[in-house]
C-alpha cells in the first residue's frame, strides 16, 4: 500500500515519528517554533510538543549546531535545522571539525548521532547568498553522511534510516521540491548508499541527484520522442556513494551524462566522472558529459537565474551530443 503526499509532508511525517517514538529526540533551529518553520515543515509542532522538544534558536548557527553536537555526545538525538545550506558556513567548524571527527578523535568513546536538516538550491529568486548548493562540499568530509532525496518517498525512507545512525548526517532538501507530490510506500525505509534507477533505459545513462533528477526525468521523456531511451540514476546519497549502480548502468548503456545544479568547476559531478572513467572506461562509447550551473553567483533576477541553472533542454542537448 502507498499514500500520496508532498515532499514537505514526508519530511513532516519523519519528524513526527522521531518525536513520538524516541524521547531522546528534540528539534532545534531558527523559526521552527511558533512560526512553524521557514518552509512550513514544523507547523503545529510547537503547540503539540512544547518548547522543551521544539527549541526555537537565535540566529547563531555556530552556537546552536555546537549545542546540538554536545547534546548528542551526552546521549540525546538532536535534529538541527539550518534554514539554508548557505547559513551552514557559519557552523562549518562545528560540522566539519567536531561533529564529523568526534568518534574518531575520541577513539570511539563518543559519537554524534545528529541529523542536520538544511535546504539547498536555487530557483526561488532569493539571490546569490541564499541559492548555493554545498552538499558536494560536505560529501568530501569523512565522518559525515550526506543524503539528497529527490522524491517524497526517498525523503521519508532515507530519514527513517538516518535516525538509526550513530554519526552525523547532512540531510539536504531542495528549496523547490517541497510541493512535489509522489506515492510513498507504507513503512518505506531506504538504506544510505543505495542509488535508485528512476527510469530504465538502454542508450544513455543520466546520473543526478536532488532537484536535477526531476529535470533529468523530463529530459528523458523528451528524448523518447527522438527514439533515444535514457536511463535515469538518482544517487540519493553522496556519502556513501553507490558506485556499483553507477558502473552497472554505464556498462549497460555505454554513454553517461552527469547532471548537477552547482557550478561545474570543483563540483561533485567531477568525482562521479572520475569513477566512471576509472571503473568502466572500456565500456564507454563516448567521453562522459557534464551538465552543471554557470560559473557565476546565482542572479537575483529570475530570468537570469533560470539561465544560470541547468534546465531540461540543456540535458537533452548534452545527450544528443553524445548520441
- In the chain, the percentage of residues whose pLDDT exceeds 70 is 100
What mean pLDDT value characterizes the chain?
97
Quickly state the pLDDT bin for 192 (edges 50, 70, 90).
very high
65/88 Cα distance (integer angstroms): 9
Name the active-site residue from 61, 81, 135, 305.
Answer: 61
Asked if the bond preceding 191 is cis, omega within 30° of 0, the reply is no
Record the pTM: 0.96
**Element (H or E) spanning 173, and its range?**
strand 169-174
Quickly state the pLDDT bin for 81 (edges 50, 70, 90).
very high
Structure confidence at residue 154 (pLDDT): 98
Structure confidence at residue 216 (pLDDT): 98
132/305 Cα distance (integer angstroms): 12
DSSP result, 23-87: TTEEEEETT-STT--TTSTTTTHHHHH-TTTEEE--S-HHHHHHHHHHHHHTT-EEEEEESSGGG
| Residue pLDDT, tens place only, 229-281 | 999 999 999 999 999 999 999 999 999 999 999 999 999 999 999 999 999 99
Distance of CA 232 to the CA centre of its chain: 17
Per-residue pLDDT, averaged over 36-61, amounts to 96
- Of residues 294, 258, 311, the one with CA closest to residue 128: 294
Compute the radius of gyration of the chain from its Cα atoms.
20
Q: Angle at which helices 269-279 and 243-253 pack, to 10 degrees? A: 60
236/322 Cα distance (integer angstroms): 25
210, 177 in Cβ contact below 8 A? yes
Structure confidence at residue 108 (pLDDT): 95
Per-residue pLDDT, averaged over 14-21, amounts to 98
Structure confidence at residue 322 (pLDDT): 92
Q: Are strands 77-82 and 25-29 parallel, antiparallel or unpaired?
A: parallel
Q: Do domains 2-185 and 196-322 have the same CATH topology?
A: yes
Per-residue pLDDT, averaged over 109-137, amounts to 96
**What Å distances lie between residue 259 and 73, 143, 256, CA to CA?**
37, 25, 10
Structure confidence at residue 180 (pLDDT): 97
Structure confidence at residue 296 (pLDDT): 96
- Cell numbers that stand for 8 in this block: 514537505
Structure confidence at residue 238 (pLDDT): 98
- Give the CATH number of domain 2-185; options: 1.10.10.60, 3.40.47.10, 3.40.50.970, 3.40.50.2300: 3.40.50.970
114/25 Cα distance (integer angstroms): 9
Name the active-site residue from 81, 130, 173, 261.
Answer: 130
Q: Delimit the domains of the chain by residue range.
A: 2-185, 196-322
Residues in the chain: 323
Structure confidence at residue 79 (pLDDT): 98
101/9 Cα distance (integer angstroms): 33
Structure confidence at residue 64 (pLDDT): 97
Structure confidence at residue 226 (pLDDT): 95
Structure confidence at residue 246 (pLDDT): 98
Q: Are strands 204-208 and 230-234 parallel, antiparallel or unpaired?
A: parallel
232, 220 in Cβ contact below 8 A? yes
213/6 Cα distance (integer angstroms): 16
Structure confidence at residue 263 (pLDDT): 96
130 has catalytic annotation: yes
Structure confidence at residue 266 (pLDDT): 95
- In the chain, the percentage of residues whose pLDDT exceeds 90 is 99
Question: What CATH number labels 196-322?
Answer: 3.40.50.920
| Residue pLDDT, tens place only, 193-228 | 999 999 999 999 999 999 999 999 999 999 999 999
159/29 Cα distance (integer angstroms): 18
Per-residue pLDDT, averaged over 9-33, amounts to 98
173 has catalytic annotation: no
Amino acid at each position: 500500500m502507498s499514500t500520496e503526499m508532498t515532499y514537505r509532508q514526508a519530511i513532516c511525517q519523519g519528524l513526527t515519528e522521531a518525536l513520538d517514538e524516541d524521547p531522546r529526540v528534540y528539534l532545534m533551529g531558527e523559526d521552527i517554533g511558533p512560526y512553524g518553520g521557514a518552509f512550513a515543515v514544523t507547523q503545529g509542532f510547537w503547540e503539540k510538543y512544547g518548547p522543551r522538544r521544539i527549541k526555537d534558536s537565535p540566529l547563531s548557527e555556530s552556537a546552536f549546531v555546537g549545542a546540538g553536537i554536545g547534546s548528542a555526545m551526552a546521549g540525546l538525538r538532536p535534529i538541527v535545522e539550518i534554514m539554508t545550506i548557505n547559513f551552514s558556513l557559519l557552523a562549518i567548524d562545528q560540522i566539519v571539525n567536531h561533529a564529523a571527527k568526534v568518534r574518531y578523535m575520541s577513539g570511539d568513546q563518543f559519537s554524534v548521532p545528529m541529523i542536520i536538516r538544511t535546504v539547498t538550491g536555487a530557483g526561488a529568486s532569493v539571490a546569490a547568498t541564499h541559492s548555493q548548493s554545498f552538499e558536494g562540499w560536505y560529501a568530501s568530509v569523512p565522518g559525515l553522511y550526506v543524503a539528497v532525496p529527490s522524491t517524497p518517498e526517498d525523503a521519508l525512507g532515507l530519514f527513517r534510516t538516518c535516525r538509526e545512525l550513530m554519526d552525523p548526517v547532512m540531510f539536504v532538501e531542495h528549496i523547490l521540491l517541497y510541493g512535489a507530490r509522489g506515492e510513498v510506500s507504507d513503512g518505506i525505509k531506504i538504506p544510505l548508499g543505495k542509488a535508485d534507477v528512476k527510469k530504465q533505459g538502454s542508450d544513455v545513462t543520466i546520473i543526478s541527484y536532488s532537484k536535477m533528477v526531476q529535470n533529468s526525468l523530463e529530459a528523458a521523456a523528451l528524448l523518447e520522442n527522438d527514439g533515444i531511451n535514457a536511463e535515469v540514476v538518482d544517487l540519493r546519497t553522496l556519502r556513501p556513494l553507490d558506485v556499483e549502480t553507477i558502473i552497472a548502468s554505464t556498462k549497460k548503456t555505454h554513454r553517461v551524462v552527469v547532471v548537477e545544479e552547482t557550478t561545474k568547476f570543483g563540483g561533485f559531478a567531477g568525482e562521479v566522472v572520475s569513477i566512471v572513467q576509472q571503473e568502466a572506461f572500456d565500456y564507454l562509447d563516448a567521453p562522459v558529459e557534464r551538465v552543471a550551473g554557470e560559473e557565476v553567483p546565482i542572479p537575483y533576477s529570475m530570468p537570469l537565474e533560470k539561465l544560470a541553472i541547468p534546465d531540461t533542454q540543456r540535458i537533452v542537448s548534452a545527450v544528443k551530443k553524445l548520441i
